[in-house]
Amino acid sequence: MAGTTLFISDLHLCAERPAITRLFLDFLAGEARTADALYILGDLFEFWVGDDAATEGEFRPVVEGLRTLSRTGIPLYFMYGNRDFLMRERFENDTGGKLIPDPTRLDLYGEPTLLMHGDLLCTADADYMKFRAMVRDPVWQRDFLSKSLAERNGIFNNYREISKATTTKKPPEIMDVAQSTVESIMRQHNVRRLIHGHTHRPGEHVFTLDGTPARRMVLGAWYERGSVLRVDAGRWALNTLPTAA
């Protein structure tokens, strides 16, 4: 009998928000253990400078919590976000999860559904798309990963500060998804259902795509409380978890 599949994204786990990390670990030890599968659609961490960082204090409990979940037999999937795109095979091995490409199309209880992090849909933000192309380039990544852990942390912290400064100057609509891009990619993958995160604007968007009803579900960020999409054979429900203490 089919159960429930869980989708989350944009947890941005870091040492500065220990209550959210505790909330996530409770989620892994509780509801996630009854799921058909758990999909984490990007930005699990505030930043990830390479798999060797998994031994650091702030990351270790999360990696151990994920590994404990996967050992119970719950399928665990990760998608790259714009903060943790440097996850590699060691992270898969350490957690027991599987990295999946962005986008990924799956049959979700009989409904073809597209999963994305969501940043690829924000095509109006030309500066971000240019930056994304740079850091996703294999040559840039090899050079970055060849640096010491301290150097990589310094570079990412600098990028974070630049991002904060530039984001406040951009009109909100530029940082949201472009509807034409949404429709194009859904058409390309022949789906009428899309689940993504990234924008931190949780909610359901219903529209018509080539004369057929379509649905886009946006996952919420975990800054003050958790956000979980629960999908089973009969419903989609986007809910929040209790406020982190």
Please write the tens of the pLDDT for every residue from 217-237.
999 999 988 999 999 998 999
The pLDDT, as a whole number, for residue 1 is: 45
Q: Which amino acid is at 37?
A: A
Report the 10 Å Cβ neighbour count for 116. 25
Distance (Å, whole) CA 34 – CA 31: 6
- Short-list 37, 23, 149, 32, CA closest to 86: 149
Confidence of residue 67 (pLDDT cuts 50, 70, 90): very high
State both tokens at 57. Answer: 């204090």
Query: At residue 245, does pLDDT exceed 60?
Result: no
Residue 2 has pLDDT above 70, yes or no: no
Task: Say which residues have a Cβ less than 8 Å from residue 158's Cβ, sequence separation at least 6.
Answer: none
Percent of the chain with pLDDT over 90: 79
pLDDT digits (tens, 9 = 90+) for 24-42: 999 999 999 999 999 999 9
What span, in angstroms and rounded, lies between the C-alpha atoms of 55 and 42? Answer: 20
Question: Tokens for 228?
Answer: 């979980």
Q: Of 42-46, 75-79, 157-161, which range is least confident?
A: 157-161
**Whole-structure pTM value:** 0.93
Position 244 confidence tier, pLDDT thresholds 50, 70, 90: low
- The full set of domain ranges for the chain reads 5-243
Q: Which residue has the higher pLDDT, 165 or 190?
A: 190
Residue type, 110: G
Tell me the per-residue pLDDT of 86-123, one tens digit each, with 9 for 90 and over: 999 999 999 999 999 999 999 999 999 999 999 999 99
* CA 109 and chain centroid, separation: 21
Question: 4, 213 in Cβ contact below 8 A?
Answer: no
pLDDT at 58: 74
CATH code of 5-243, in short, is: 3.60.21.10
Q: How far apart are CA 115 and CA 125, in angstroms?
A: 21
Report the percent of the chain where pLDDT is more than 70. 97
Q: What is the SS3 string spanning the chain?
A: CCCCEEEECCCCECCCCHHHHHHHHHHHHCHHHHCCEEEECCCCECCCCCHHHHHCCCCHHHHHHHHHHHHCCCCEEEECCCCCCCCCHHHHHHHCCEEECCCEEEEECCEEEEECCCHHHCCCCHHHHHHHHHHCCHHHHHHHHCCCHHHHHHHHHHHHHHHHHHHCCCCHHHHCCCHHHHHHHHHHCCCCEEEECCCCCCEEEEEEECCEEEEEEECCCCCCEEEEEEECCCCEEEEEEEECC
52/68: higher pLDDT: 68
Q: What is the overall mean pLDDT for the chain? A: 92
